[in-house]
Amino acid sequence: MADNGSTPPPPPPGRNPRLPGRSDGGWPRWSAWIVVGVLVALLTASAMLNQPAGTELTYSEFLEDVREGQVDSVTVDNTNARISGEYREDNAVTGTFRTTGPAEISDEDLATLRGNNVAVDFETPTPNWFLSLLPLFLPFMIVIGFFWWMAKRQQSQMGGIMSIGRSKAKTYTSERPGTTFDDVAGYKSVKKEVTEVVDFLSDTTKFAEIGARIPKGVLLVGPPGTGKTLIARAVAGEAGVPFLSVTGSDFMEMFVGVGASRVRDLFQEARKMGKAIIFIDEIDSIGRKRGAGMGGGHDEREQTLNQMLAEMDGFEATEGIVMMAATNRPDILDPALLRPGRFDRQVVVPLPELDDRRQILGVHMKHKKIDPDVDVEVIARGTPGMSGADLANLVNEAALYAVRAGAKQISALHFDQARDRVIMGVKRDSLVMSGPEREMTAYHEGGHALCAALLPGYDPLHKVTIIPTGMALGVTMTLPEEDRHSMRKTQAENMIIMALGGRNAEQLVFDVVSSGAANDLQQATNIARRMVTEWGMSDQIGPMSLSGGGPVFLGDDMMGTKEFSEDTARLVDEEVHKILTDMEDRCQRLLSDNRHALDLIARNLLEKETVTGEEVNRLIATATSTTSPATEPIAP
């Protein structure tokens, strides 16, 4: 890597960058001001040169000096009656003088001059040629300057139009401090995948000696916010080569052929640099399958993709140019873009695991004032499924909560509040529930909490609250101990039971069914349907996948039909209904057998509004040791 001195980085080879102070690469903008300054200086100098030197006198003082015999000679200007002269050398006052006389000197004054032996000379000076021609040429100069300005303006506009086909890639040269793998927290497997690219760009000889060919293109695939662009920049920083970054939308313009022209200019610029990394972010915007949808096969996007495919075939792997791209939709990319010789290596950048989240949180918490009671392990366990961008937002939200509370450090409470806001939404303190509605909400959330605490193998209960948050009137939150990558049938059934816990608690205590369980029913039905159609967890359907194909895009698969019969669809509905009713029966038995614990949890929720998982477990243990459970609803 280059040093981080004060020497500015040289411009990229092959480019003629616009110099500072120039509007279009021609004359500098300040050149016009220099011309105006020179003209003003010439006019001022001409006027000053025409002014005679000497002491300024009034005409009366001049005549008085003549009568006293102090004046030796005078010169009268016939054009402006200006009089200049010299004093006698034997006088006390010597030197020159100047004054302004009448338009025509009288005979009496002339007689006074001659009587005192003053040499009188009348002259008509030749006018300054520059000042004489200036009134004639000034209108022409103004007209010529106007047309010159219009021509330059038109040329600038035409230059912008003619340069529309140039690449809009941002170039990060190796002279600038680059991003390295040390700046990317976690993702050891991803770094290992792209290390070969770094080794190739750093030393191509060891690959050439054995005959190995480095992949031309590396496609980074992963959900949004996982740091795909950061990883690509880290590869360039580790290899110490220029990095050209461009997004897929930069190739698209309203003019036909602009995208293909920008692709050609991008590759030409990379070739002039020798070794370089071309990074295209959101490549799915131009790399979608050709011929899909109603637009036909000859639109601007497809021509841009065709040009990119041709350019990737036009350079050899030994040239030292590696293409990297990022997308979160690899399923919609054109197959020609992914074949060997183009983007023939795909590197998956998944959502961070527990250890990765711990490292990412450590990076974002490094320069913030964190209270010693904050446990990064607990925060990492409570953020499954969050990307690096989500974790950065979580830390920032915690800092904002600390500022609002007037705290000097960010505590664990602030992180807990930030996680609730990010996952569930903002607490609606302005929402006031009536007494019966608040009581029903307490039993609803108590049913969820009781099921989560008693179901074997379920995620530990973190807290339950009846404070309206987001779109929900209450929330029950569990905290997984580890990331889950697969799901067993018992785990899926427990999730359905936990989702139905609120609805069954309302029905058990109040013998009513409310609309508060709409989202719970949606989640339970979705899990049950996936058990039948995707996971093969139905005895009647068996090991068969009935899920649809890929996602619909640009009209592709728009006319697709279901791949199973109506009888099978009816059987799927019956199986889903059977799973939901079976899990509802189990949920009702669980709540009935632990009715006293449900009442205790609801009572504490009505008193405290928020109850932690440890308190719920303690209440369940207390209810288990009690022999006389309550049978009536708790009054608010």
Question: Of 423, 451, 478, which marks where a domain is finished?
Answer: 423
pLDDT bracket for residue 496 (50, 70, 90): very high
Among 374, 392, 380, 390, which Cα is nearest to 354's? 380
pLDDT band at 43 (very low <50, low <70, confident <90, very high): low
In a domain, 98, yes or no: yes
Asked whether residue 15 is domain-assigned, the answer is no
Q: Do 303 and 366 lie in a common domain?
A: no
Could you tell me which of 474, 477, 502 has the C-alpha nearest to residue 584? 502
Token pair in block for residue 633: 């609803």
Among the listed ranges 208-212, 334-338, 362-366, 434-438, which one has the minimum average pLDDT value?
Answer: 208-212
Say whether pLDDT at 162 is over 50.
no
Q: By C-alpha distance, which of 283, 290, 360, 286 is closest to 328?
A: 283
| 544 lies in the same domain as 616 | yes
Best-predicted range by mean pLDDT among 52-56, 125-129, 544-548?
544-548
Q: Which has more pLDDT, 577 or 562?
A: 577
* Residue 583 and residue 467 share a domain: yes
Query: Does residue 339 sit in the same domain as residue 399?
Result: no
Q: Residue 66 falls within a domain, yes or no?
A: yes
Are 206 and 293 within one domain? Answer: yes
Query: The domain spanning residue 326 has which CATH number?
Result: 3.40.50.300
pLDDT given for residue 629 in this prediction: 44
User: What Cα–Cα distance (Å) separates residue 263 from each residue in 34, 252, 317?
Assistant: 42, 10, 18
Per-residue model confidence as pLDDT tens digits over 270-290: 777 777 778 888 887 777 777
pLDDT digits (tens, 9 = 90+) for 66-76: 888 888 888 88
Residues 149 and 55 in one domain: no
Same domain for 249 and 316, yes or no, is yes
The whole-number pLDDT of residue 426 equals 66
In angstroms, the first-to-last Cα distance of the chain is: 69
Among 60, 93, 123, identify where a domain stops.
Answer: 123
Distance CA(80)–CA(73), nearest Å, equals 19
Distance CA 169, CA 306 (A): 19
In a domain, 114, yes or no: yes
For residues 216 and 342, is the Cβ–Cβ distance under 8 A?
yes
pLDDT in tens, 373-420: 888 888 888 788 788 888 888 889 899 989 988 888 888 888 888 887
The 10s digit of each residue's pLDDT in 288-306 is: 777 655 444 446 677 777 7
Pairing outcome for strands 610-612 and 461-465 = antiparallel
On whether both 209 and 248 belong to a single domain, the answer is yes
DSSP state of 85: E
- The answer as to whether 636 is a domain residue is no
Out of 423, 450, 478, a domain closes at 423
State pLDDT tens for residues 584-603: 999 999 999 999 999 899 99
**Mean pLDDT across the chain, nearest whole number?**
76
Residue 519 is part of a domain; what is its CATH number? 1.20.58.760
Contact 256, 307 (CB under 8 A): no
Q: What is the pLDDT of residue 27?
A: 56
Point out the catalytic residue in the list 445, 493, 506, 575: 445
Q: Is residue 400 part of a domain?
A: yes
pTM (predicted TM-score): 0.59
445 labelled catalytic: yes
Distance CA 394, CA 424 (A): 13
Same domain, 363 and 401: yes
With contact defined as beta carbons under 8 Å apart, do 524 and 583 qualify? yes
CATH at residue 90: 3.30.720.210
pLDDT-derived band of residue 333, with 50, 70 and 90 as boundaries?
confident
Amino acid at 243: F
Which domain does 587 fall in, by range? 435-549+562-625
- Do 467 and 588 belong together in one domain? yes
Helix, strand, or coil (residue 376): helix
Phi, psi of 178 (to 5 degrees): -100, 170
Assess contact for 450 and 590: CB atoms under 8 A. Answer: yes
- Give the domain CATH number at 378: 1.10.8.60
pLDDT at 161 over 90: no
Instruction: Provide the domain count of the chain.
Output: 5
DSSP 8-state code for residue 539: T
209 against 56, higher pLDDT = 56
Is residue 259 located within the same domain as residue 304? yes
Burial 385-398, CB ≥16 within 10 A → b, else e: ebbbebbbbbbebb
Q: What percent of the chain has pLDDT over 70?
A: 75
Domain presence at residue 18: no
Determine the average pLDDT of the residues in 237-248.
74
Shared domain check, 212 and 331: yes
Is the pLDDT at 118 greater than 80? The verdict is: yes
Q: How many helices (H) and strands (E) does the chain have?
A: 20, 14
pLDDT band (50, 70, 90) for residue 8:
very low
Structural domain contains residue 464: yes
Residue-level pLDDT at 7:
40
